[in-house]
Copies of this chain bind each other. A is one copy, B any other.
């Protein structure tokens, strides 16, 4: 295992400290917790957004804490859900009196712990709602989920829902926008090289030297099948066709595209994939309104990529375009 770390049991603690030290203008840490919140939290009168989950997906989620996106992010150990107590601390730290929306990726542990935290917060008089992101079209049920997994599309939910909250939408309306985004977003990924959880020290699944894994998850769980490595164009077509089979876009529909790297993939390769995604969508007459390329929802050092499509309407376009200022996503 080749990693630039100290002790494997300290990676989350040291990472969170390193993040706060890098971005003091954006982030502060809630005392005795693995929760990072906006420097100016709580923002009085604004609906607050909290997300989180296991670590190892950086910049998700704490990299998206800031203006126009999240108010707080709760970090569990690597690929491990944060506890309800930690999530509760996050909720309390960001509540500005207008309620809190939890954005949960669909993993059994996350759903259970976030929902428990929600109940605890409501018992303390805080208004809390939640949405569950399930954008991965690869598998219906996985090692860690009932139903589809939540993966890179979650970042688009952060962006759009965060913009709604920033514009002063109330809790019901922010939740409505979040649910519409979740309904409209689909993702599928693949990998060439698996990742190694620091505390485990070996890969969670094996991929042959000439193989790739299609439809993998972001926690090192295997995908739907192994295949011989194909070209970037073929990979783009496989992922995109699976998404399009599921979401039924029509000619002249407008979409946002995200080509997401899983941590160990050069940006060069993501742009090569984007080149083909753009071509394939254009051939079908689907209009690309905005494209985001980079490492947003990763799986440690896994080499691979995912493609997300978000079907847009006028409301979603306006929210997608609005200002954001966070460590990992900024838009003027």
Evaluate contact between B6 and A233: CB separation under 8 angstroms: yes
CB pair B2 A192 closer than 8 Å: yes
Q: Say whether, besides A272-B5, A305-B4, A267 and B21 are in contact (CB < 8 Å).
A: no
Q: Per-residue CB proximity of A254-276 to B under 8 Å, as 1/0? A: 00000100011111111111111
A55 interfacial by beta-carbon distance below 8 Å: yes
A271–B4 touching, CB < 8 Å: no
Q: Are B293 and A267 in contact (CB under 8 A)?
A: no
Q: Which residues of B are found within 8 Å of A170, using beta-carbon distances?
A: none
Q: CA of A6 to CA of B271 in the docked complex: distance in angstroms?
A: 12
Q: Is B11 in contact with A272, judged by CB distance below 8 angstroms?
A: yes
| Beta-carbon contact of A18 and B58 below 8 Å | no
- Residue in B21, B267, B270 whose beta carbon sits within 8 Å of that of A275 in the complex: B21
Q: Are B271 and A19 in contact (CB under 8 A)?
A: yes
Q: Once the chains bind, are B18 and A274 in contact (CB under 8 Å)? A: yes
A269 touches B4 (CB 8 A): yes
User: How distant is A190 from chain B, measured CB to nearest CB, in Å?
Assistant: 8
Does A298 belong to the interface (CB within 8 Å)?
Answer: yes
The verdict on A23 contacting B291 (CB below 8 Å), with A193-B2, A269-B3, A332-B330 known, is yes
Q: A270–B301 Cα gap in the complex (Å)?
A: 12
Docked Cα-Cα span, A89 to B132, in Å, equals 50
Main secondary structure of the interface of A (DSSP, over half): mixed
A295 at the interface (CB under 8 A from B): yes
Asked if B193 contacts A291 (CB within 8 A), the reply is no
- Residue of chain B at shortest CB distance from A274: B18
Residues of B contacting A259 in the complex (Cβ-Cβ under 8 angstroms): 22
Task: Indicate whether A85 reaches chain B with its CB closer than 8 angstroms.
Answer: no
Number of chain A residues whose Cβ lies closer than 8 Å to a Cβ of chain B: 63
Known: A233-B6, A330-B332, A332-B325. A22 touches B293 (CB 8 A): yes
On whether the beta carbons of A15 and B271 are closer than 8 Å, the reply is: yes
Contact (Cβ within 8 A) B303 A271: no
Known contacts A6-B232, A18-B273, A274-B21: does B268 contact A300 (CB below 8 Å)?
yes
Neighbouring B residues of A304 by C-beta, 8 Å: 4
A55-75 residues at the B interface, CB under 8 angstroms: 55-56, 58-59, 63
Report, nearest first, the 8 A-B pairs whose CB atoms are least far apart: A18-B275, A18-B271, A58-B267, A330-B330, A18-B274, A4-B269, A21-B278, A2-B192
Q: List 21 A-B contacts (CB under 8 A).
A: A2-B192, A2-B193, A4-B304, A6-B233, A6-B272, A11-B268, A11-B272, A15-B275, A18-B270, A18-B271, A18-B273, A18-B275, A18-B276, A18-B293, A19-B271, A55-B268, A58-B268, A266-B301, A267-B298, A330-B331, A332-B332
